[in-house]
Amino acid sequence: MTYSLKRARRSWCLYDWANSAFATVILAAVLPVYFVSLVPGDGATIWLFGAHKFSATSLWGYSVSLSMLVLAFTAPALGMLADRKGWHKRLLLLFCIIGCSATVLLALTTPGGYLWAAALFIIGNIGFAGGNIFYNSYLPLLAPADEVDRLSARGFAYGYLGGGLLLALVFLLILKYESFGFADISSAIRCGFILTGFWWLLFSIPAFRNLPRTNPGTYKTSSVSLKNYLEQFRQLLKYRDLSLFLLAFLCYNDGIQTVISVSAIFAREELRLGQGTIIGCFLMIQFLAMPGAVLFGRLAEKIGAARAIMLCLGIFILVCGFAYRMTEAFEFWLLGGVIAIILGGSQALSRSLFASMIPQGKNAEFFGFFTISSRFAAIFGPLLFALIADFTGSSRNSILALGIFFVVGGILLLLVDVPRGRELATKES
């Protein structure tokens, strides 16, 4: 098949359309609320922890953290393997299948089966986030430096639209479950999990067909060992601004990912909102985030990606303070609208800014570090949220505490010299 850059770019964006179904239905809007229904009212018990009772909120937070902890320690090795062997597309397919399979199997969960649901979620989240290492590594291969912000934003726009459409379909199943022949809402939700898994797999096919094959890299070593693993970190530290950006991203993305993963449970337990209201708000977020991603992509061309990200972080700090005080459903919708506009911009520009400072030939390896940064963010944030909720009995205190991640991340981002980082990457390519 003749390689077409235009077709490859479109297929790359379509993969974001595909796997965003997992982000919206499983990670954000539907599974967290369904998960609450699986946990007994007096809390969950795990034999390793004796008689201690875990709330649904804390158990969910620990599950998110555990899945990301596994991936954080394996991401650099996976990236190095892809760069060394030229297996970017092959590993993307493998993690996609793992994630899709776990998502479909969630349909087998029943009341009281919260541990089974947590285990499948952990596997699915590893498939989702692990695949993104190799998906993201294609970004600098498909776009030159002056187009990378726009392509990254376009990918996120596809993702928000695709994830939003699938969430709308699942929402319709839940809302009109009797019309579709389901005995109850839980049956409709479980069918939604099956639909999510197949949506992800189906719309990933163009990427597996049209993304170019990558050539093996040249390395002095041929084995993945602890010594080589540590050497990767030493290589990364040679790129001062890239390393500093990763640290900044670790901090502020911690807050972003936690807001995404716990907002549904927060709305359910603190605001007592129904599942229909929560899913409806997430639908609004998905469709508003699409133009938000495009808007910030264009804004970055005028003021620079780093400044555009700083603007997003300032708004996120205000979001945390507002969420701590809100009590009404309309406030949840208002906050969702604000988050929608800045969410796509902050994520798309972070990815493109990082890609612009990577030396050619180390795309997947360095995006492995990007995954470490983003996945460690998905460990500490939910863990802090779960711990505070567990010991204080209130998720409001947890939401307020997330603001510190945006403050620290913003301060570190101010120290990044982007032009210097890009110049060094060019010299080393």
How high is the pLDDT of residue 221?
43
Asked if residues 104 and 403 have their Cβ atoms less than 8 Å apart, the reply is: no
> How far is residue 171 from each of residues 2, 35, 69, 225, measured CA to CA in Å?
40, 16, 31, 46
Residues 6+ apart with CB under 8 A from 29: 167, 264, 278, 279, 282
Task: End-to-end CA distance of the chain: give it in Å, rounded.
Answer: 29
Q: What is the pLDDT of residue 1?
A: 42
Domains and CATH numbers, the chain: 8-41+51-211+231-428 (1.20.1250.20)
**At 54, phi and psi to the nearest 5?**
-100, 130
Residue whose structure tokens are 């301060």: 411
d(CA 21, CA 317): 27
Tell me the per-residue pLDDT of 159-188, one tens digit each, with 9 for 90 and over: 989 998 998 999 899 989 999 999 999 999
Distance between CA atoms of residues 197 and 199, nearest Å: 6
Stated pTM of the model: 0.77
Local structure of 237: helix, strand or coil:
helix
What is the rounded distance in angstroms from the CA atom of residue 357 to the CA atom of residue 421? 5
pLDDT of the residue at 173? 93
Distances from the Cα of 123 to the Cαs of 64, 97, 99, 202, 328, in angstroms?
A: 10, 11, 7, 20, 35
Low-confidence ranges of the chain (pLDDT < 70): 1-3, 47-50, 217-232, 261, 275, 372, 374-379, 428-429
Looking at the DSSP bridge assignments, the partners of residue 54 are: 44
d(CA 426, CA 27): 37
Q: Give the per-residue pLDDT at 227.
A: 61
Q: Which residues contact 200 (CB under 8 A, 6 or more apart)?
A: 18, 19, 21, 22, 96, 99, 100, 103
> Is-contact 262 61, C-beta < 8 A?
yes
Contact 92, 134 (CB under 8 A): yes
pLDDT score for 265 = 72
